[in-house]
Structure formats: C-alpha cells, structure tokens
Amino acid sequence: MAPLIGVLALQGDFQAHGSVLRGLGATVREVRVPGDLDGLDGLVLPGGESTTMTLGVEREGLAGPLRELAARGGVGGIPILGSCAGLIMLDREHLGIMDILANRNAFGRQLRSFEADLNVKGLEGEPLRGVFIRAPWIAEHGPGVEILAEVDGHAVAARQGRVVAVAFHTELGQDDRVHRLFLADVAASGGGDSVETG
C-alpha cells in the first residue's frame, strides 16, 4: 500500500513537495488542522516563512499534536522531513522536535539565494545540487544529531533518528534523492501498513 504522507500546508511551497512525493508513489494529504495528522506514515514541513508558519501552527493548535507525532512509535517517532523554513520549525526554539538551533537567513543578504553541490551522507552517486533561498544553517546541535552535509563549514543537513532536516529546497529541481531517502525511512518504519495510531 502506498504510504500516506502529510505535508504541512499552512504556508510555503507545500504543493511542490506534494508533486514530488506523488511522483514517487506516495499518497499525499495536505495538513492544516490536527485531524489531518491521523494515520500519517510520514510528514513533510516545507520551506516558506517560519514566523508565518509558526503563527499558523499556533492558531490551529498544531504544535502539541506535531510533537506527539514525532514522539510516537518509540525512538524518533514517524519519519519527518523539514526543508528550509521546515528545518527552522524543527529546532529547539520552535517545535523542539530536533536538538538543533537554526540560524535564520544565515547566508547573508548578498547570498540570499544560491545553488551548491553537496555531498550528502546517505546519498549515493554524484553530489546533490542544493537550492538555497534565504536559507538557514544549523548553528548548534546536540550529540544525538548527525550532520549530513555542510556548505563552507556550516551544517546544512542533519538527521536525528527518523527526522531529517535540510536547509535547502529538495522539492525544486530534478533531484529527488532526499525525498527518496525520506520515503525509505517511512518504509523502514512500517509506513504503508503497520503504523501505530495510539
């Protein structure tokens, strides 16, 4: 059975994530209220604007349910992928799902948007072309966090259990390997048939 992936759809480029995921065979549900989280096998927090997204999460009462979802099922909970603003949403000062501290708009004014070839741990083959749009980097991280990629010595991708955060946009461009990695996590955690709901 196709895994059911939720994409937080309060703000940002959730539609682009939806089409990549559908292209890879997942069933996609846009998440706007807590009830939309029921029965998900995985969740994507898209890029956008983290202040607006945070206000939306608070307005809809989603913060608690999102944290519960991350914790459900033991170590790491259900797989979550956060991209750009989604990385910020996962950090200690926002949802607190990952033991990281994001530095917003970290690359500075003149470098607001750029692309870089990244060697990402866990991805085979050629470097991944990362699209950075007013991107954050990971300024601090705890011992349970593995850094997966860096740009100029700054951490731009990390994993903690089943939660992966990337500072770049994985949903733009041709390379869908980060989404594939996420869906592999979903499959490995039983997504598609045996996900616990309690």
Contacts of 68 (CB under 8 A, 6+ apart): none
Backbone angles phi, psi at 11, to 5 degrees: -170, 155
Candidates 142, 40, 50, 56; CA nearest to 99 is 142
Write down the catalytic residue from 17, 84, 94, 179: 84
- Cα separation, 136 vs 194, whole angstroms: 35
The only residue of 22, 27, 61, 105 in contact with ligand GLN, by rule CB under 6 A: 105
- Can 93 be counted among the known catalytic residues? no
Is residue 169 annotated as part of the catalytic site, yes or no? yes
Among 17, 141, 171, 179, the active-site one is 171
- Residue 48 binds to ligand GLN (criterion: CB under 6 A): yes
Residue 177 binds ligand GLN (CB under 6 A)? no
Among 15, 24, 49, 146, binds ligand GLN (CB under 6 A): 49
- Out of 17, 94, 141, 169, pick the active-site residue: 169
Residue 11 to residue 47: CA distance in whole angstroms: 8
DSSP H helices, 73-154, are 85-90
Binds ligand GLN by CB under 6 A, chosen from 31, 69, 84, 172: 84
- Nearer CB in complex with ligand GLN: 38/140: 140
Residue 3 or 86 having the CB closest to ligand GLN = 86
Alpha-carbon distance 112 to 98, whole Å?
24
Determine if 54 is a binding residue for ligand GLN (CB under 6 A).
Answer: no
The residue to which tokens 């991209």 are assigned: 83
Nearer to ligand GLN, 19 or 105 (CB): 105
134 lies in the site for ligand GLN, by CB under 6 A: yes
Tell which residue, 13, 9, 11, has the closest CA to residue 36: 9
Q: Of 24-32, 57-65, 82-90, 121-129, which part binds ligand GLN (CB under 6 A)?
A: 82-90
- Residue 127 vs residues 34, 74, 164: alpha-carbon distances, Å: 37, 33, 18
Binding site for ligand GLN (CB under 6 A): 47-50, 84-85, 88, 104-105, 133-134
Give catalytic residues, as residue numbers: 84, 169, 171
